[in-house]
A and B are shown apart, each in its own frame.
Chain A
Amino acid sequence: MLNFLGSFAGPVAQGIIWGIMAIGVYITFRILDVADLTVDGSMATGGVTLVVLVTGGMHVALALLIAFLVGCAAGLVTGVFHTKFGIPAILAGILTQLILYSVNLRITTQRSNVPLSVDKYHILISLRNLTNAIIVSAIFAAVIIAVMYWFFGTELGHSLRATGCNQNMARANGINTDNNKIIGLVISNGLVALSGALLAQYQGFADINMGRGAIVIGLAAVIIGEVLLGKVFKNFALKLLAAVIGGIIYYIVISLVLKAGLNANDLKMFSALVVAVFLGIPYWQRKLAEKRSAKEDKANA
C-alpha cells in the first residue's frame, strides 16, 4: 500500500509544479477571458533562464526571480501585440511563442538541452528527493495563491476582473482595459516561467521543447479542478487551489495510463482529447437543457 502511494509522489510533485503554471493559465483564460498561447514559450524560457543562470554561478533564489521577470517580459510582448497592434489574442500569443523559440535558443547559446545537476549546484528541488520536492513546490503554490488572492482583491485586481467580464462596462467606469490586459498577461506569463524554472530543477535539465503543449496541460488542470471542485470551491483562493489540485490529478491520471501501456508519444494526443472533451461538456449540457425546455414547452402548449 505504501509502495502504491509512494509511486504517486512523482506525479504529485510534478502536478503541483504544473499547478503553478495552471494558476497562470487561470488568470488569462478565466479572469481575462483570453486564451494565451505565449505560455508554451514562456514555460521553456523560465526553465532555460534558470538553468543558464544557476550553472553560471548565480544563487538559485535570484535566478528564480529573474526567470519570473523574463516570463513577465514575454507576457508584455504579447500584451503589446494584442492591444497596441490590434492582433487577436491567440495570434499575438503564437507570435510571441515563436519569438521565444529563438530567444530560448539564444539563452542556451543554441543548445536544445541544458543540464542542471543537483550534485553540482545548490538547487531547491529535485526528483531525487520527492518529499522535499512536494513540500517546496507546495509552499511556492501556497504563497502564489495568497499573493494572487490579495492582488485580485485590490482595486486594480477588481478592475482586471471587470475587464475580463465586460469590457464595455469596464471602460464606462473609467478602466483602461488595454493596460489591464497587458498586466494580466504579464503576471500570467511570469508565473508560467516560474513554474518552468521549478520544473527544470525538478527534472535536472531544461529543454527548448519543455513547454510544447503547456497550454493544454494548464487548461486540463484548470478544467479538471473546476469540474471536480467547482461546486464546493467558491472562494477565489480555493478556485486557484482547485487548479493546482487539477494539475496533481492530471499527472496521477497520466502516470496511470502510462502504466496501463499508453505509448508516451501518444500522450499529447491523449491530453488534447481530454481537454477537448471537458471543454465540450458545458456546451453539451447547455444544448441538452435547451432541448429539454423546448420539449417541455411543446408538452405544455
Chain B
Amino acid sequence: MLKVNNIYKTFNKGTVNEKKALNGVSLELNEGDFVTIIGGNGAGKSTLLNSICGVFTVDRGTVVIDGVDVTKLPEHKRAKYLGRVFQDPMMGTAADMWIEENMSLAFRRGKPRGLKWAITNKERAAYREMLSHLGLGLEDRLSSKVGLLSGGQRQALTLLMAVMQKPKLLLLDEHTAALDPKTAETVLTLSDKFIKDEGLTAMMITHNMNDAIAHGNKLIMMHEGRIIYSAEGQEKKSLTVDDLLKKFADISGNALANDRMLLSN
C-alpha cells in the first residue's frame, strides 16, 4: 500500500540553520497495516508524514502509494489517497464554516469540484448518521460553525472527515497530543475503531510509548532522520516501555530524554 524508498530531506541547505530532517528512510506498509511511530523531538517523524503528504518534495528517493508514484505530485493531488489528522485541532477543519460544510468538503476529497450544489439533502442525512456514531452530540449541530466546537470535538470531526472518503492511507500526526487525557482517550479509541472497521492502512505518530505499544501491528522508532528500530507481530506485542527506552539508549547512544515522553508514562 505504501512504499517509501530511501528518502532524504534537508531544510535550509547551505545555511547555518541546515537541518537534515530525513536521512535515508525506507518503509513498506501492506494493506491493513497500522504502524505507530515514536522518537524524540526533531527525529523526523512529522517530516516523514509530511513528505508522504507532499507538504514539500523530498530531495531524493520515492514515495509510492498503492502502486502510484506520488513523489512529484503536489499536496492537493495526493490528498485523493490520504486522510490526515494534524496535531493542532485547529488545522484540520475550516473554523468559519459549518459542520456539514466541512464534511461536504471532505466528502469530495479526490473528486472534481464543479458548479453543483455543495450539499444535497441525501448527504445531509448521511452526515447526521455518521456524526451520531461519534457519540458527541454533533449530529444535531450540522449548521454550527466548527470554530465553536471544543478541541476534542474538532479533532473527532477531523478524524471522521479523514475517513469518510476511504483513504488508501490514514496519517495521524500526534493527533491527541493537544487534548486533555480523557478526550485524547476518546479520540484514540475512535481512531482504532475506524481503522479496524474500515480495514484502513494507517500511520500514527505519538509521544506516548504506552499508546505506541498498545495500538497497531507495527512500531518504528526514529532518531536523527533515520528509522533506528522497528518491531512487528509478536515482538511488538511483548514490548514494554523499558524495552523501548533501553533500545533507544543502545542504538543512539543517548537516553531518550524527552520530558514529555517520560511524563506521559
Contacts and interface: CB of A to CB of B under 8 A. Distances in A.
Contact of A154 (B77, B82, B92, B114): B114
Given A165-B95, A165-B97, A168-B91, A154 B115 contact: yes
A177 interface: yes
Contacts of A162: 94, 97, 105
B96 A165 contact: yes
Contacts of A155: 104, 108, 113-118
Contacts of B84: 172
Given A162-B105, A169-B93, A173-B161, A154 B79 contact: no
A157 B119 CA distance: 12
A174 B109 contact: yes
- Chain B, interface size category, equals 20 to 34
A176 B105 CA distance: 12
B118 A175 contact: no
B118 A173 contact: no
Interface residues of A, number: 22
Nearest to B88: A168
Contacts of B92: 168-169, 172
Contacts of A157: 118
B75 A171 contact: yes
A175 B107 CA distance: 12
B151 interface: no
A106 interface: no
Contact of B91 (A158, A159, A169, A174): A169
A110 interface: no
A272 interface: no
A144 interface: no
B104 A158 contact: yes
A292 to B, nearest CB: 21
Nearest to B77: A174
Summarize A's interface: helix, strand, loop or mixed: helix
A174 B95 contact: no
B74 to A, nearest CB: 8
A173 B79 contact: yes
B91 A173 contact: no
A172 B163 CA distance: 12
A174 B106 CA distance: 8
B105 A158 contact: yes
A156 interface: yes
Interface string B161-178: 100000000000000000
Interface in B231-255: none
Interface in A131-187: 151, 153-159, 161-162, 165-166, 168-177
Given A173-B161, A177-B76, A156 B114 contact: yes
Contacts of B161: 173
A178 to B, nearest CB: 9
Interface string B79-91: 1101010100011
Given A158-B101, A158-B104, A169 B94 contact: yes
B118 A171 contact: no
B110 interface: yes
Contacts of A177: 76
Contacts of A161: 94, 96-97, 101
B99 interface: no
Interface of B: 53, 74-77, 79-80, 82, 84, 86, 90-97, 101, 104-106, 108-111, 113-118, 161
Interface of A: 151, 153-159, 161-162, 165-166, 168-177
